[in-house]
Chains A and B, each alone.
Chain A
Amino acid sequence: MKEQLQKDFYNSIKNLSLSQKDIEIKKFCLDNFIDKGFPNKKEEDWKFSDLNQIIKNNIGELSFYNDQASTNKVDTSVFVDGLEHNKIVFINGRIEKIDFEYEKKDQIEIIDQSETINEFENSNSLSDLNNAFTNKCFKILVKKGYKLAKPLIIYHTTNSKIWSKNINLRLNFELDKDSSLRLIDLFNDTSEKNFLNIFYNFELKENAVLKNYKVDKFENKNIKYSFNNIDQDKNSISETFILSSGSNFSKNEINCNLNGIYASAFVNGVFSLYNNKHHEIRSIINHLTENTKSYQLIKSVLEQSSKAVYQGKIFVNSDAQKTDGYQLSKAILLNKESEFNAKPELEIYADDVKCSHGSASGSLNEDSIFYLMSRGLSYQQSRELLINGFLLDVVEKITDSEIKNLIKNMLGIKE
C-alpha cells in the first residue's frame, strides 16, 4: 500500500498549485498515515469495527489518486423533489456545483480554504489521510443574523467511473451570531467498493442554530467514514440526525464541544440494517462549561446478519456544573445472526450534574405481536407496525417538519 500511496500522492499534488510549505505539511500527514495505516480493532475507538479488515475484505487494494480535471455532468434526477433547496453537488469527490439560489447572495460567503490544513481533535489516522489527499476545500460562512430560507442539501454522488478508490472530502462551516442553517447530507451511490472519508467542521457562534441530517438510505456497496466536529458557543444549538442504512459499512463520528453556557447538542440516530451491513455511530459530547445540555437517542432495527455499533460518550469537565446529559440506545434484533454492540460511556468530573444513560437490546416483544394479531392483523403487519412505532420515536425528534416528512417518506414510516 505504501508505494501506491506515495505514487498517488505525487500525482495529486502535481495538479495543485501549492506552496512548498503546504506540500511539506501534506507530506507530513501522509507519512503519519503510512506509519499508522487504517485503524484496526486494537484501537479502542475501533474495537467493534476493524476498518483495516473491512477494507481488505470488501475492497482489497485501494488507490488514492483522483483525476480532478475531468468534469462530470450533474444528473438532475437525483435531486429531491417537492422540497425547495440549495445545493452543493459532489460527484466522485469533486465539487461540481454550488448553488444558493434561494438565498441573499451577500449573506453567504464561500471561501476557498484549500491551502489550510485542518486540525481536528481526532487522533485516528483517517484525518491524516484526509489532510494529505483533499485538494479542494471550501468554507461556507453564514453571516451574522442570517437565517437560510431553504435547507441546503449536499449531494454525495458517486458513479461507476470509480472503482476501489479512496475519496477524501472536507468542508468547513461557520455560523455567525444569530444565524441558522439546515443541512442535509444525502448519499447517492451507483459506484461500488469505494472508501469515502468525509470531514466536516462546524463553528457555531452565539445563538446559532445548526440542524444537520445525514441520510444514507440507498443500497450501495461503498464504505464510509464521516467525522463531524462541532464547536458551540453560548446559547447555540446543534441537532444531528443520522439515518444509517444503505452502505455496506458506515461509521459516523460526532465530536461536539459545548464551550459556551446554555449551549445544547442533540444527536439522534436510526440504524435500519439488513444483509451483512455493519454500521457504527460514535458520539463524544464534551461538556466544557456550566449549564450545557445534551440529549442522544439511537434506535436500531437489525435484520439478517447485520451488525450495529453505538459508542457514545458524555464527558463532563470539572467546571461544567449543572450539566444535563442523557443518552439512550435501543436495538431490536430480528435475526439470530444479527448483532448489536454498545459502549455508552460517562466520564464525569463535576458533582452537580444530572447524567444518565441506558441501553437495551432484544427481540420483538411477542406479547405485543400477539395483541395485534388477536385484533386481526397478520404477523407481518403486526411486525411492521411495531418496528414503525419503534423508529418513529426517533424520527419525531426531528424539529424541522419539512425534513421530518421527507425522512418519514424515505423510511416508509406511516403515522
Chain B
Amino acid sequence: MDNRQKEINNLKDYKYGFSTDIENIQAPKGLNEDVIKFISNIKKEPEWMLEFRLKAFERFKVLKEPDWQKPKFPKIDYQDLYYYSAPKSMKDKPKSLDELDPKLLETYKKLGIPLQEQARLNGIAVDAVFDSVSVATTFKDELTKQGIIFCPISEAIQNHPELVKKYLGSVIPTSDHFFATLNSAVFTDGSFVYIPEGVRCPMELSTYFRINASNTGQFERTLIIADKGSYVSYLEGCTAPMRDENQLHAANVELIALDDAEIKYSTVQNWYPGDQDGKGGIYNFVTKRGLCKGKNSKISWTQVETGSAITWKYPSCILKGDNSVGEFYSIAITNNHQKADTGTKMIHLGKNTKSKIISKGISAGSSDMTYRGLVDISSKAKNSTNYTQCDSLLMGNKCGAHTVPYIKNKNSESNIAHEATTSKISEEQLHYCQQRGLNPEEAVGLIVNGFCKEVLQQLPMEFAVEAQKLVGISLEGSVG
C-alpha cells in the first residue's frame, strides 16, 4: 500500500479527522509570567483578572504533577506548549455569521453543526469555540430578553465583572490541584452562563468545542450560575481533528446552583482517541465541579465518554445547601489503547442531601478503564442518602476494568449503598440476537445500548440520538 492510500485509510478511521488551515496568532512557546500577561493583554482584561491568573501561576510553580492515576502517560513538557492561539480572522470581530471565515464555517459543516442551520432548526443557541476564542454566538437576542447571559467568558469579564469576580474560582479555587491551577493561570476562553432568579431557560444551551492548532493545549473555563429558582440545561459536545502529537486539554468547569435552582450538564466527548496502535490522541484532564450552594438546589452531570487517548476526570458535586441533590450518570467506553480514569465525588455537607451515581464502563481491545469515586457524608449531613451503582463490561482478555470507590460515612443517620459488578456479554444473549438475523457487531451494539440505557435516557433528546450512534461506532472492530 502506498503512503497516500495509508493516509486516506487513517482519515477514514476517524470520521472527524481533518484540520483547517487558518493562520494563527500564537503566544510565544512556553509558560511564564510574560505569556500570562500576553494572554491577559490580548484579551484586554481588567487588572483583577490578571492578578487572578498570576496568583494561580505562583501556586502552579510549587505544585507537582499528580501521579496516582491508573493511566500513565509520558511526561508533558509544559514549556513546550503554546498557551494561546487564535484564528487570525478574529482580529476584527465579525458582526454576523455571514462574515465568518468560510473555511471555519466549512469545518463546522464537516462536524455536522452548520451554525445557521443548527441554530435555526434545532432552536439551540450555539457558542462555538474554535481553538481558543469563541467565534460566534447565536440566539443571543432571545436569551437576552429573559435576562439570561450566555456569552464567551472573555466577554463576561468585560461586561459582567461583578458576577465573574464573585463566582470565578469560588468552586475551583486558584489553589486547587495541578491541572486546575494551570487552567486558572492560562485559560483562554470558554462559556459563561447566568440564569436570573426564577427564570427557566427556554432552550438547551450548547457549546461545541474543537481543538485545532497543533501543540495548543486547550484551556477553557466554563462558569454557570443558576440564580434562585432557575433552571438550565447545558450541553457540551466535542470532536477534534486528527493529530499525531498528544494534545493536552485541561478545562475547568464550575457550576453554582443557588436556592431551588437546578443545573443539568450533559457532555458527549468524542475527541481523537489515537490510532489503533495507541499513537496520538488527546489527553483529557478536565476538572468539573458543581456547588449546590442554596437550599433545595440540584446539579446533575451526565457524560458519555468515548474519545480521548486518556480521560481523567471526576465531575463532582458539593452538596452544601440543605435538601440539595447531586446526580452523576456516566457511560465511558474505551477501545484499542484508550485509557480512562473517571468517576465522581459526592460531598455531603448539608442536611437531607441526596446523591445518586450510575456509572457504566465498557472496555474493549487493549484498553483500560477505571471508575474512581468518593462518597463522603460529613458528620453534619444528617439524614443523607447515597446510592451508587457501577457496572463494567469487558470485551476480550487484553483489556482491564477496575472499580475504586472510596466510601466515608461519618453520620449515623445517613445511609450509603454501593454496588458494583463486572461481567461480559453472555454467549446466550449474543446467540439470541444473531439467531434473529443481526450480525455480531449489531448484536453487541444492541446489547451495549441496553446496558447503557439507564444513562442514555438522562440525555436531552438531540444528544441521546448522537450518543447512541457513538456507542455503536466506538466499539466497531472489537468483536469477532
Interface residues of A (CB under 8 A from B): 44, 318, 321, 331, 333-363
Q: Is B407 within 8 A of A349, CB to CB?
A: no
- Listed A/B pairs (30) with beta-carbon separation below 8 Å: A44-B68, A318-B397, A334-B412, A339-B410, A342-B407, A343-B404, A344-B418, A345-B405, A346-B403, A346-B404, A346-B422, A347-B400, A347-B402, A348-B401, A349-B400, A351-B394, A351-B395, A353-B394, A353-B423, A354-B422, A355-B421, A356-B419, A357-B419, A357-B420, A359-B416, A359-B417, A360-B415, A361-B415, A361-B416, A363-B415
Q: Are A345 and B407 in contact (CB under 8 A)?
A: no
Are the C-beta atoms of A336 and B402 separated by less than 8 Å? no
Contacts of A336 in B (CB 8 A): 379, 411-413
Flag if A339 contacts B408 (CB, 8 Å): yes
Q: Which of B404, B417, B420, B424 contacts A352 (CB 8 A)?
A: B424
Chain B contacts for A338, CB-based, 8 A: 412
Smallest beta-carbon distance B342→chain A, Å: 15
With A348-B394, A355-B421, A359-B418 already in contact, 17 other A-B pairs whose C-beta atoms are closer than 8 Å: A318-B397, A336-B411, A336-B412, A340-B407, A340-B408, A341-B409, A343-B406, A343-B407, A347-B402, A350-B394, A351-B395, A353-B424, A358-B418, A359-B417, A360-B415, A361-B415, A362-B416
Is the Cβ of B402 less than 8 Å from the Cβ of A345? yes
A339→B381 CA distance, assembly (Å)? 13
Contact A353-B422, Cβ < 8 Å, known A348-B401, A360-B417, A362-B416 = yes
CA distance A333 to B379 in the complex (A): 12
Binary interface profile of B, 56-74, with partner A (CB < 8 Å = 1, else 0)?
Answer: 0000000000001000000
Residue in contact with B419 in the complex, picked from A318, A341, A358, A362, CB distance below 8 Å: A358
Contacts of A349 in B (CB 8 A): 397, 399-400
- Is B396 among interface residues, defined by CB-CB distance under 8 A? yes
Majority secondary structure of chain B interface residues (helix, strand, loop or mixed): strand
Distance, CA A331 to CA B397, complexed state (A)? 35
- Can you name the residue of chain A whose Cβ is closest to the Cβ of B372? A345
- Nearest CB in chain B: distance from A366 CB, A: 10
- Chain A residues positioned under 8 Å from B410 (CB to CB): 339
CB-CB < 8 A to B412: which residues of A?
333-336, 338, 362-363
Q: A44-B68, A346-B422 are in contact. Are A361 and B407 (CB under 8 A)?
A: yes
- B230 CB-CB contact with A under 8 Å: no
Name the residue of chain A whose CB is nearest to the CB of B404: A345
Nearest CB in chain B: distance from A340 CB, A: 5
**B376's closest neighbor in chain A, by CB?**
A341
What is the CA–CA distance of A73 and B144 in the complex, to the nearest angstrom? 89
Q: A336-B379, A353-B423 are in contact. Are A346 and B416 (CB under 8 A)?
A: no
Q: Is B469 in contact with chain A by the CB < 8 A criterion?
A: no
Inter-chain contacts of A333 with B (CB < 8 A)? 409, 411-412
The 5 closest A-B pairs by CB, nearest first: A362-B415, A333-B412, A351-B394, A346-B403, A359-B418
**Is the pair B403, A345 in contact by a Cβ cutoff of 8 Å?**
yes
Closest chain A CB from B257 CB (angstroms): 27
Determine if A360 and B403 form an interchain contact, defined as CB atoms under 8 angstroms apart: no
Contact of B423 among A343, A354, A358, A363 (CB under 8 A): A354
Q: A353-B423, A358-B419 are in contact. Are A346 and B401 (CB under 8 A)?
A: yes
- Residues of chain A lying within 8 A (CB to CB) of residue B413: 336, 363
What separation, in Å, do the CA atoms of A341 and B377 have in the docked complex?
A: 10
CA distance A63 to B390 in the complex (A): 47
A318–B398 touching, CB < 8 Å: yes
| Bound Cα distance from A335 to B379, whole angstroms | 11
A358 contact from B399, B420, B422, Cβ within 8 A: B420
CB neighbours (8 Å) of B422 from chain A are 346, 348, 353-356
Residues of A near B415 (CB, < 8 A) are: 360-363
**Considering only CB atoms, which chain B residue lies closest to A334 in the complex?**
B412
Distance in angstroms from A218 CB to nearest chain B CB is 26
**Interface centre among A342, A345, A346, A356, by most B CB within 10 Å?**
A346
Please indicate the chain B residues that have their CB under 8 angstroms from the CB of A342 in the complex.
405-407, 418
Is there a chain A Cβ closer than 8 Å to B338's Cβ? no
Chain B window 306-332, contacts with chain A (Cβ cutoff 8 Å), 1 for yes, 0 for no: 000000000000000000000000000
Expressed in whole angstroms, the Cα–Cα distance for A353 and B399 within the complex equals 13
